[in-house]
Structure 1
Amino acid sequence: MTRDELYDQALGLMENYVHHIADQLVPPELTTIAKISHGYRYAEKGTIQAMLQKMARLVSALRAARVLLAQGFIAEQAAVCRIVDEASEDINFLALGLMHEETELHKKFIEAFYLEEFEDGERLTQTAVKRPNIPRDRIHAYLTQNPAAGPDPSIGKASMKILHKAYSGYVHGASPHIMETYGGQPARFHMNGMLATPLWHSHVDGFWNYVLRGLMSFVMVAKASGDEEFFTSIRQYCRDFEASAPQKR
């Protein structure tokens, strides 16, 4: 199986599970938003519904990252992978809360997640909703200090912080990250992708990790929701996927 075929299979598996969970819930309703527009919203603003939405976001972002990577847009692909990272962390955070005990942090997260941007679309400035900020450090701390964490939580927390910071520059346009697009003969800024460059090959290999982390977050959801059949099958799938790790160049 080629790498692309493997990714197609993995993403298809994740997408099907999103649909499977959605089918078990009361579907979203078409509602009026901010008095002037319409959109679908879940009437029950619970943890399961939040996890489901994050899962859909993760799968979509992974597919978007593949499209960007295929065209050589590595900085943009890395920025989307930051979205994947945060979605995966959020899924794990919510799933662990269901498996153990939902904390005050979980409650604040859910409350902030479901807030609309405006109360009245005809008075945007006056009715803009201030969404509470849930510091990413607090999510990282929970993920490394909960009952399921390993014996040395400081290692996991440091790893998540380093990864978060490294990809932050792609999102916010830090100079070192922008300058990765400069070079060649003659040296110039490359604004039409960087296919077949050493940096592009590095991102191609690194993308495998994002797909694996996405799969592992789905393992957490299956465990948290009590779906032992899917938990057993996707856990084995993750083990098989790990065996396909890219060889170091």
Structure 2
Amino acid sequence: MGKMGDANSLTDFAVGEMMSAFELLRKSVPAPQEVEHPKGFSWRYKEQTIQQALLLKLFRLISNLDAARVLLSLGKVMECGALKRLLDEANDDILFMAAPLLGHPKEDIHDEYLRYFWEEEFDVPGEPMKSSQKRGMVRRDKIQAYNARVISPTDPSTAKKVDSAIFKTYSGYIHGHSQHIMDAYDGKEFHLRIEPGMRPYDATLEDFLNYPYRCVMASSFIAYAFGDRAVQERLRSAYKSIGD
């Protein structure tokens, strides 16, 4: 089958299990409603609960995982790297949001995070040029520090260093740093599509094989936070089968 075949197979399985979980979990929260604005209407979760936020993060996680696989299969290593960074960020956010529902301390930054998450991009709907607000955000290092205390309460410093290192690995693909762009060069020419056998492709594929496992595990945290043990156990079984 080859490693790309393995990546396709694992991702298909992971996406299928995660989408099944998504469809089951979304039945337990109030549905989106129409919100009118001058240009028509948009769908929104009016209640803006933590469970609804986790549900949206789950859908984004599924979509990004599937997209990263597609881009890698097309040799788009730089773009796949950017999506890996987004996947790392989503995994961080899911643990951060779910942890207080799993018995860990809730802090002020949780309320701050949710407030920014639900905030509309423009304060004058349908008129972006007239909007004046600037969306805030909780600093990434604060989220990582909280997660480190959850994951490793006896040694949060090391846990945070590990998380930061993973996060920084693909940051350059987001921001277009020179060394990441140079992945497209083979000593003679720059390639829009990087083929199997080229070092950047093989290294990216090798690392990508970890993502279906990590994403399904993060999804199980969401099911646990929802209190749906049946979905949690199904996802737990899924990521264990991926890891075997």
Give the count of matched residue pairs. 239
- CA 47–222 in structure 1, closer or farther in 2 if over 3 Å, else same: same
1:89 and 1:28 map into 2 onto residues whose CA distance is 25
Superposed CA offset, 1:119-175 (max 9, x none): 2146534423211121100000010113x5353222211011111112110000001
The alignment-based identity, stated in percent, is: 32
CA contact (8 A) 1:72 1:200 kept: yes
CA contact (8 A) 2:96 2:147 kept: yes
Match of 1:173 among 163, 172, 176: 176
Following TM superposition, by how much is the alpha carbon of 1:37 offset from its aligned partner in structure 2, in angstroms? 4.4
1:99 and 1:85 map into 2 onto residues whose CA distance is 21
Residue type at the aligned position of 1:162: A
1:131 is aligned to 2:135: yes
Which residue number corresponds to residue 232 of structure 1? 233
Which residue number corresponds to residue 210 of structure 1? 211
Which residue number corresponds to residue 72 of structure 2? 69
Residue type at the aligned position of 2:237: Q
CA contact (8 A) 2:17 2:238 kept: no
Match of 1:144 among 134, 145, 148: 148
SS of the residue aligned with 2:170? helix
2:226 and 2:146 map into 1 onto residues whose CA distance is 20
1:53 is aligned to 2:36: no
- CA 194–144 in structure 1, closer or farther in 2 if over 3 Å, else same: same
CA RMSD in angstroms, aligned pairs only: 1.8
1:16 is aligned to 2:17: no
Residue type at the aligned position of 1:221: I
Following TM superposition, by how much is the alpha carbon of 1:25 offset from its aligned partner in structure 2, in angstroms? 1.6
Match of 2:110 among 97, 106, 109: 106
2:118 and 2:40 map into 1 onto residues whose CA distance is 17
Following TM superposition, by how much is the alpha carbon of 1:195 offset from its aligned partner in structure 2, in angstroms? 3.7
1:136 and 1:161 map into 2 onto residues whose CA distance is 9
Following TM superposition, by how much is the alpha carbon of 1:233 offset from its aligned partner in structure 2, in angstroms? 2.8
2:79 and 2:126 map into 1 onto residues whose CA distance is 34
2:91 and 2:213 map into 1 onto residues whose CA distance is 10
2:128 and 2:241 map into 1 onto residues whose CA distance is 50
1:36 is aligned to 2:58: no
- CA 151–242 in structure 1, closer or farther in 2 if over 3 Å, else same: farther
CA contact (8 A) 2:18 2:235 kept: no
- Structure 2's unaligned 5+ residue stretches are none
SS of the residue aligned with 1:188? coil
**Could you tell which deviates more after superposition, 119-128 or 132-141?**
119-128
Which residue number corresponds to residue 91 of structure 1? 94
Residue type at the aligned position of 1:13: E
- Structure 1's unaligned 5+ residue stretches are 244-249
Residue type at the aligned position of 2:215: G
Residue type at the aligned position of 2:15: L
- CA 10–123 in structure 1, closer or farther in 2 if over 3 Å, else same: closer
Task: Give the TM-score, by structure 1 length.
Answer: 0.89
Which residue number corresponds to residue 198 of structure 1? 199
